[in-house]
Structure 1
Amino acid sequence: MTVLIVEDERTLARELGIFLHNQNFACTVARTAAEARWQLADTPFDFVLLDLGLPDGDGLDVLAEAKQNELAAAVIILTARSAVEDRIGGLELGADDYLAKPFSLPELLARMHAITRRRFGLHKPTVPVGAFSLDLQNRRLLHAGQEVGLSVKEYDVLSYLVLNKNRVLTRLQLTEHIWGNLSEAGFDSNYIDAHIKNLRKKLGQHADTDWLETVRGLGYRVRV
């Protein structure tokens, strides 16, 4: 998944980026309100980690403007502000959660996982798909209780399709979700096609994969 880190403290932004990268998130950093606005207008992120005290403006104003522009990303406010009014203001503007600084990185990750489950209507971290089950918390695909060996990117493609079950995702949507912002000129649909081919080969050794559909001229869909 892709994450926009809106944070002007360089050390914290770097720590967040390293931690989330190690959890297989694709991260982009914005250190000002202006840069955050530009990134949000340009890229469809999955998460926004938003500091409120930015050098050129208030993070709440960035959030309000983004929501007016129909921001789809989940937003977690990360701030040193302790006033209840700020927390209420952020949540009422559409933030999904709020963490006061200093905070634990594992707690942040747990909250991101919880938001993902809520957004996709999941009641537990394991999702059945065909004869398989997807363990979202531990990033594993299981068949008959045994792990099916997938590469990091193969898992990312499959999990995003599963989370968006019964919805057609284009190759560009899948590519941006996994690799982050790509210009149209740099887009190559072969990236996704190769991963889908590998997934079908690996999964097909265990069970049918009829649920992993190619929608000609559009993209791919997991049908359940």
Structure 2
Amino acid sequence: MIDVILLEDEPVLRQELGEFLDEEGYRATRTASLAEFEQHFQAHRHHLAVIDIGLPDGSGLQLIQRLRQSGHPLGIVIFSAKGTTADKIGGLDIGADHYLSKGCDLEELSATLAALARRMELRQEKTLWQLEVGPRRLLTPNAVHIPLSQQDMLVLHSLMQQAGNNVSREQIVQDLGADFMHYDQRRLDSQMRRLRRKVETLSGQPLPIKTLRNSGYCFYERSRVCG
């Protein structure tokens, strides 16, 4: 995975952005202030950064200037509520690669990071996730076995046997053995949130499932399903 460091002081937005980046296949380090950024930033590991510029302990622009002066090969995207032309010009002049307003769709942020990663010739690590149906467990790339409930196993089976493809909510619900017309969609969302938390807590790795807004999910890394 490509490591991204996120600097956003607003807690709800920081959580939303962090989860979105995880779902997009990045390993996101979340920070809330300049001090936390300085504490957690590792030049050898973090290749991309998403930085707010209005922070409680200083300016994100000054941080970007310091990063550029240090010579670190870091792709920087400003993600700010300040969206005037003057703001954008100032951010780009000081060293940011891209400047996005917080009102933009997150898919634009995803596309911007992907383009930046391509330009920097960054590559996602090839990993393999293995679903073991018989014992109902998930083997992560770092060799951690995650025990699964029957429902979790069925959801992962539906997604991992079509890894790389978009799987509709209707297909997943059918694979769960339920009637889609009478199924409460919030149950699937809640189950997915719990499953993501469980996998990351036990293995330290985000579950590589991308949420397709209002349509379904996609397991986006290499996988194997076995008995």
Q: Which TM-score band (shorter chain)?
A: 0.5 to 0.7
SS in 2 for 1:95: coil
Partner Cα separation in structure 2 for residue 62 and residue 49 of structure 1: 12
Shift of 1:71: 2.3
- DSSP-derived class of the 1:11 partner: helix
Partner Cα separation in structure 1 for residue 43 and residue 119 of structure 2:
26
1:90 aligns with 91
Report the equivalent of 1:23. 24
Residue 70 of structure 1 is matched in structure 2 by 71
3-state SS of 1:76 partner: strand
2:106 is the alignment partner of 1:105:
yes
Residue 42 of structure 1: how far off its partner (Å) = 6.4
Residue identity over aligned pairs, in percent, reads 32
Which residue is 2:4 aligned to? 3
Aligned-partner Cα distance in 1 for 2:66–2:141: 33
Unaligned runs of 5+ in 2: 130-139, 143-203, 206-221
Residue deviations 1:35-92, cap 9 Å, x none? 2123235663121100010001010001001111122221000001123222112112
One-letter amino acid of the structure 1 residue matched with residue 47 of structure 2: D
CA displacement, residues 103-128 of structure 1 (integer Å, 9 cap, x when unaligned): 2111111111111122229xxxxxxx
Q: What is the deviation of 1:25?
A: 1.1
The answer as to whether partners of 2:43 and 2:72 remain within 8 angstroms in 1 is no
Question: 1:33·1:62 contact (CA, 8 Å) conserved in 2?
Answer: yes
* Unpaired segments ≥5 residues, structure 1: 122-135, 142-148, 155-178, 181-198, 203-224
Q: CA RMSD in A?
A: 3.1
- Alpha-carbon distance between aligned partners in 2 of 1:114 and 1:81, rounded to the nearest angstrom: 23
- Higher RCO, Cα 8 Å, sep 6+: 2
DSSP 3-state at the match of 2:46:
coil
- Decide which structure has the larger Cα Rg and report it: 2
- In structure 2, C-alpha distance between the alignment counterparts of 1:8 and 1:118, rounded to whole Å: 28
How many aligned residue pairs are there? Answer: 135
TM-score of the two chains, using structure 1 as the length reference: 0.53
Q: Secondary structure at the match of 1:8?
A: coil
| Equivalence for 1:40 | 41
